[in-house]
Structure 1
Amino acid sequence: MLSAELQHLDMKSLMGLLYLLEENNVGRAANRLFLSQSAMSRLLQRLRDAFDDPLFIRTSKGMIPTARATALEHPVRVMIENMAGLNSPQTFSPDKTERTFRLQTTHYQAQAYVPFIASQFYQHAMHASLETSTVTENSLLHTTDNQADVVLCSEYIQVPNTFERQLLGYEKFGCIMSASHPLAKKSSITLDDYLKYHHILVSIGGSSRIYMNDALAERVRERHFAFRTPYFLAALATVGRTNLLLSSSRLLAERFQEQFQLVIRDLPFGFPDPRYYICWPKATENDPGGQWFRQLCGQVVREHIPYPSPDGNNESPVI
């Protein structure tokens, strides 16, 4: 526990101690600190009170440091050098770091992009760790900013204004079905075709809102969800084995089209292409490690998303 006297010492007083040790003269030490000799004498008295020691003894040959003053020189010098280093630019070396980087994504983006991110991550940061967790529609509103270095999400995820957000690109939706589905023989499907069959809903969690309902307008009640799941690959596998329809992004459906025996058709109604973003806490904006990780994630997603956006300006979240 620091004494009250030590707690009131400032950097200038400690620099004064070092100058006194180097000069063994109050006047010369005062000049180096741009103080008057009387002010320097008061500074020395504060040091004596703080360390409960005379620190310097006046002799006919000048001031001689006490054993206590000599013992203080090294730790005080190291502390001042460390303090000076606080203003030095932060550096980061991915090949040397042992940091754990935290990535939050939806289930869909975890399957669509995280394996490619992990591949690049461990090529450059072989000693680091990558930890992923799930983000839902409103989970970012109820967590602290320090729980993620990067968040990958769609425009349907609510992002608080304590985060920065940058557009990565967009994907196109389609109607996904089994290759053996009766509608698979048709080159295009009508809205009546679409509503005739039961559907799968992949939920992002956090609310019961279904964004595609707006596009169906007055016919929304005709669509029936027979299977609900948060897992996109489970939905694709189920589509391949049933006559259920899935309305979702084409990206993963095309990637697993042969494995699950899928067919993809255009939706029989207009629906805006979903946009995807990379987000990060504003508090980590200048963190070199965070900057490196954001750049890696953004670059990987832009390489694999069907319609990438330029690496442009940040957007302000709407929440």
Structure 2
Amino acid sequence: MNNLRRIDLNLLVTLQALLTEKHVSRAALRLHKSQPAVSHALAHLRTIFDDPLLVRRAGKLELTSRASELLPALTGALHQVGALLDQPAFDPARTKRLFRLAMSDYGSRVILPGLVKRLRSDAPGIDLQVTQGSRTSMMAGVHDGEIDLAFGVFPSQLADELRTQTLFIEHFVSAADKHTLPNTGSLDKDAWLSRPHVLVALQSNEAGEIEHALQREGVTRRIAMTLPHWGIASSLVTNTDLILTAARRSFDLFLEDSPLQLFAPPFAIDPFAYEMVWHSRRESDAGHNWLRETVVEMLRDSA
């Protein structure tokens, strides 16, 4: 243990080069160091091991018995250290692994179709486990290691160990049955406020971007239906006088014969950044890095 305190990894690398090359100049070339620096290291190593390590016989340097014993153990130790420090190669086509994701059903609609297709094509051995929760519970899951990646709208200030990446900027649109709209295909503020509305929220008292925009306008709307699921919300509007105002990507791509009409809300609603969050401990994980890059590429291609 005392000797261990007197040596560093660079000295062990130098020792391996010297014992392998049996020549100070060649060892210096191999290490990209000067010959005097390697000679100085050899002198230091001889003191540490209390052995000459290399002795000159017949004009050439040869290993001492102690050095011959050291070389195989030294080579094995440096190989293990290298394996410890080097990030292992990641082959998505051959990897079998489970990733745990957290997102709302809005996120599921936006993220999962493209991601699953990419995984089935490029990484068929990777499985996904998707859960849903509040922003707070998703961040807690990422922090505690129970979630690998969380997707959603998160506070601007996160814990220092959490990392975030904006995937896209989302905007709001309103949707109504087109047969209940005037020829303009939209509604002014008074008409918009006079209609009953659908609110999608995990909690009925949750105030989102739309409510904040209404507060700035000094007006309120009547919420006739509150539900936590995006998927069915647009279906509730069909053949009714209801209005649904939601993130643009929460709606299916409408065909010309769709009964619903999308239009801009009659007042400004702040867009929001849709983000991906992970823990800093994952940043040395090649598979996790690949998955994040794949999500970004998939969204860019689909845009």
Mark yes or no: TM-score above 0.5: yes
- The one-letter code matched in structure 1 to 2:105 is H
- The one-letter code matched in structure 2 to 1:226 is A
SS of the residue corresponding to residue 108 of structure 1 reads helix
Retained in 2: the 8 A contact 1:136–1:205? no
CA change 1:241–1:282 in 2 (3 A) is farther
Cα deviation for residue 127 of structure 1 reads: 1.5
**CA RMSD between the two structures:** 3.9
SS of the residue corresponding to residue 147 of structure 1 reads coil
2:45 equivalent in structure 1: 34
Cα deviation for residue 279 of structure 1 reads: 2.2
Alpha-carbon displacement from aligned partner over 1:73-107 (angstroms, at most 9, x marks no partner):
99998677434421223211101111112222222
Structure 2 CA distance for aligned equivalents of residues 85 and 203 of structure 1: 48
Retained in 2: the 8 A contact 1:113–1:304? no
1:300 aligns with 2:298: yes
SS of the residue corresponding to residue 285 of structure 1 reads helix
1:133 aligns with 2:131: yes
1:224 equivalent in structure 2: 222
Alpha-carbon displacement from aligned partner over 1:148-172 (angstroms, at most 9, x marks no partner):
3322223569854322112222232
1:172 equivalent in structure 2: 171
1:267 equivalent in structure 2: 265
CA change 1:158–1:130 in 2 (3 A) is farther
- The one-letter code matched in structure 1 to 2:138 is L
CA change 1:8–1:233 in 2 (3 A) is farther
Retained in 2: the 8 A contact 1:175–1:266? yes
SS of the residue corresponding to residue 222 of structure 1 reads coil
Retained in 1: the 8 A contact 2:135–2:153? no
- The one-letter code matched in structure 2 to 1:34 is L
Structure 1 CA distance for aligned equivalents of residues 273 and 215 of structure 2: 22
- The one-letter code matched in structure 2 to 1:224 is R
Structure 1 CA distance for aligned equivalents of residues 116 and 169 of structure 2: 21
SS of the residue corresponding to residue 85 of structure 2 reads coil
1:203 aligns with 2:214: no
Cα deviation for residue 173 of structure 1 reads: 1.1
- The one-letter code matched in structure 2 to 1:297 is V
Cα deviation for residue 216 of structure 1 reads: 1.4
Residue identity (%): 20
Question: Map of 1:70-149 to 2, 5 A cutoff?
Answer: 81-145=79-143, 146-149=145-148
2:162 equivalent in structure 1: 163
Retained in 2: the 8 A contact 1:97–1:127? yes
Structure 2 CA distance for aligned equivalents of residues 262 and 243 of structure 1: 11
Structure 1 CA distance for aligned equivalents of residues 287 and 148 of structure 2: 9
Q: Tell me how many residue pairs correspond in the alignment.
A: 261
1:288 equivalent in structure 2: 286
Structure 2 CA distance for aligned equivalents of residues 75 and 39 of structure 1: 18
1:55 equivalent in structure 2: none
Structure 1 CA distance for aligned equivalents of residues 191 and 259 of structure 2: 20
Unaligned stretches of 5+ residues in structure 1: 1-6, 23-30, 41-61, 64-69, 306-319
Question: Map of 1:185-204 to 2, 5 A cutoff?
Answer: 185-204=183-202
Structure 2 CA distance for aligned equivalents of residues 126 and 237 of structure 1: 34
Structure 1 CA distance for aligned equivalents of residues 211 and 217 of structure 2: 9
CA change 1:172–1:38 in 2 (3 A) is closer
Alpha-carbon displacement from aligned partner over 1:253-279 (angstroms, at most 9, x marks no partner):
251566862111210101122221222
Alpha-carbon displacement from aligned partner over 1:153-195 (angstroms, at most 9, x marks no partner):
2356985432211222223211111233x22644331111111
2:247 equivalent in structure 1: 249
Cα deviation for residue 120 of structure 1 reads: 0.5
CA change 1:174–1:144 in 2 (3 A) is closer
Retained in 2: the 8 A contact 1:177–1:243? yes
Cα deviation for residue 196 of structure 1 reads: 0.9
Alpha-carbon displacement from aligned partner over 1:97-123 (angstroms, at most 9, x marks no partner):
111122222220111221111111221
Structure 1 CA distance for aligned equivalents of residues 43 and 157 of structure 2: 56
- The one-letter code matched in structure 2 to 1:302 is R
CA change 1:259–1:285 in 2 (3 A) is farther
